[in-house]
């Protein structure tokens, strides 16, 4: 009976999740096809010519599956996947955002307060205000600050979700209830449909290097 219950229930649980990206449809060594770069505040298709000298981003494989590698040297980079492109995120129905990442190189002394460099971050942008400033939550891996630290920058709220060197560069699983985070950080209800999800890595302030691998970005109902 237990086996029968698992067979009946497990598909329903999996069906509640929305896979945003696992990079399995991209070829190793290529730029992920469904992601965009930024020109000012405008989304533009990514081309190899857009890379600055200190930037690197490409789909890689470790034999267990594909993932996205982000690496910077004295630079910052952001790749964006817009909502309603190949997924439809209604935060009231799917409040949870999860992903895996593997911090490889931490920028020297990055602390999200004074020297805001990070091996990696995941941004959720909800809307743009009348000054065209994005209201966002930035979930970050900090070089020095403890997990749970929140840095208030007005329209940008920074939340440290993992921190420090990772022994053996193991993958870390991160899960956040974005709806609850928005209510707590901004003190009101969010728009039902966020604008985009972005991945980020930077080392420009510390003039050092950063590197992180990111995979399995998913949305969930929390049920």
pLDDT digit string, tens, across residues 12-32: 444 478 999 999 999 999 999
| C-alpha–C-alpha distance, residues 207 and 109, integer Å | 10
Q: How many CB atoms lie within 10 A of CB 137?
A: 25
CB-CB contact of 36 with 199 (8 Å): no
How do beta strands 134-142 and 156-163 pair? parallel
**Weakest mean pLDDT among 3-12, 84-93, 161-170, 194-203:** 3-12
Confidence tier at 7 by pLDDT (50, 70, 90):
very low
180: its two tokens:
């609850």
| C-alpha–C-alpha distance, residues 220 and 14, integer Å | 9
pLDDT in tens, 40-54: 677 888 877 777 788
191: its two tokens:
């728009």
- The whole-number pLDDT of residue 42 equals 79
Is residue 86 scored above 90 in pLDDT? no
Is residue 216 scored above 80 in pLDDT? yes
147: its two tokens:
């997990």
Selection from 196, 199, 191 nearest residue 82 by Cα:
196
Q: What is the DSSP letter of 59?
A: E
Is residue 210 scored above 70 in pLDDT? yes
Domain spans of the chain, in order of start: 19-220
Beta bridge partners of 202: 76, 118
**Weakest mean pLDDT among 19-33, 75-89, 171-185:** 75-89
How do beta strands 134-142 and 118-128 pair? antiparallel
| C-alpha–C-alpha distance, residues 162 and 143, integer Å | 9
| C-alpha–C-alpha distance, residues 221 and 223, integer Å | 5
Q: Among 3.40.50.300, 3.30.920.30, 2.30.40.10, 2.60.120.260, what is the CATH number of 19-220?
A: 2.60.120.260
Q: What is the DSSP letter of 183?
A: H
How do beta strands 156-163 and 150-153 pair? antiparallel
pLDDT in tens, 103-121: 999 999 999 998 889 999 9
The whole-model pTM stands at 0.90
User: What's the whole-number mean pLDDT along residues 169-186?
Assistant: 96
Question: What CA–CA distances, in Å, run from 76 to 12, 43, 91, 135?
Answer: 40, 16, 28, 19
Is residue 9 scored above 70 in pLDDT? no
Is residue 33 scored above 60 in pLDDT? yes
Q: Which residue has the higher pLDDT, 164 or 222?
A: 164
101: its two tokens:
């990442």
> Residues with Cβ < 8 Å from 147, sequence gap 6 or more?
160, 161, 162, 163
| C-alpha–C-alpha distance, residues 223 and 4, integer Å | 20
Confidence tier at 132 by pLDDT (50, 70, 90):
confident
User: What's the whole-number mean pLDDT along residues 139-146?
Assistant: 96
User: What's the whole-number mean pLDDT along residues 151-169?
Assistant: 92
- The whole-number pLDDT of residue 115 equals 86
């Amino acid at each position: 009976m237990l086996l029968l219950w698992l067979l009946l229930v497990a598909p329903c649980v999996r069906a509640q999740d929305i896979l945003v990206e696992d990079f399995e449809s991209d070829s190793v060594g290529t730029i992920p096809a469904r992601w965009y770069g930024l020109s000012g505040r405008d989304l533009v298709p990514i081309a190899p010519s857009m890379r600055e000298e200190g930037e690197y981003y490409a789909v890689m494989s470790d034999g267990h599956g594909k993932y996205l590698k982000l690496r910077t040297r004295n630079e910052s980079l952001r790749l964006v996947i817009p909502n309603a492109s190949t997924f439809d995120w209604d935060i009231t129905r799917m409040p949870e955002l999860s992903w895996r990442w593997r911090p490889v190189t931490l920028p020297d002394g990055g602390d999200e307060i004074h020297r805001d460099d990070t091996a990696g971050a995941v941004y959720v942008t909800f809307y743009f205000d009348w000054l065209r400033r994005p209201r966002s939550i930035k979930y970050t891996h900090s070089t020095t600050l403890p997990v749970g630290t929140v840095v208030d920058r007005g329209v940008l709220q920074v939340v440290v979700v993992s921190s420090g060197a990772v022994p053996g560069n193991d993958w870390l699983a991160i899960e956040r209830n974005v709806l609850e985070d928005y209510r707590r950080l901004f003190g009101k209800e969010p728009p039902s449909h966020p604008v985009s999800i972005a991945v980020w890595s930077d080392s420009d302030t510390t003039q050092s290097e950063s590197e992180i691998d990111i995979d399995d970005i998913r949305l969930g109902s929390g049920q």
